[in-house]
Amino acid sequence: MLVKDFMVKAKDVVKCSEWDPIMNVIDAVLEKHISSVVVVDKEGFPVGIVTKTDLVRGYQKGVSLHQKVGVIMAKELKTVPDTLGRDDASKTFERNEIHHAVVVDKEGKFAGLISSLDIASEVAKDSRAWPWNRTPDGRIAGPTEAH
């Protein structure tokens, strides 16, 4: 399974500006039951990410919820290509000790977002399909239909 087959598409990723108040990110995380918000510039290009961990770290440091997101966002984004396999994406997460990565297409444009939960969900789907296989589009297939 490729990253592009299970990522959250860029159009569906919750985004904010680095100038938005931190409280807006907290509201989005709670309302949408998500664990990160991608920070984009005026053109929609990802320039950072704010995760639940960043929010807790900001709280611990006494950062006001009225401060701008840019104060607490992670500016070093990890990216993965949309053609990367699930298991290789998992290795990237492990190697970099991250839980979120921005997905880019072959032109390097923002294509989506994946999380460690997305990867774990895909692994669980494979496990539930056993002894059958899953096709590239995620369907459960018998031995003659598989890859």
Question: Can you list the domains of the chain with their CATH numbers?
Answer: 3-134 (3.10.580.10)
Could you tell me the pTM of the whole model? 0.84
Half-sphere exposure of residue 104, counting CA atoms within 13 Å on the CB side? Answer: 12
Helix (H) or strand (E) holding 140: strand 140-141
Q: 3-state class of 19 per DSSP?
A: coil
Give which of 124, 102, 125, 96 is closest to 115, Cα–Cα: 102
For residues 30 and 46, the answer to whether their CB atoms sit within 8 Å is: no
In whole numbers, what is the pLDDT of the chain averaged over residues? Answer: 91
For 78-130, write each residue's pLDDT tens digit.
999 999 999 999 999 999 999 999 999 999 999 999 999 999 988 887 666 56
Instruction: Please spell the DSSP secondary structure of 63-111, one letter per residue.
Output: --TTSBGGGT-B-S--EEETTSBHHHHHHHHHHHT-SEEEEE-TTS-EE
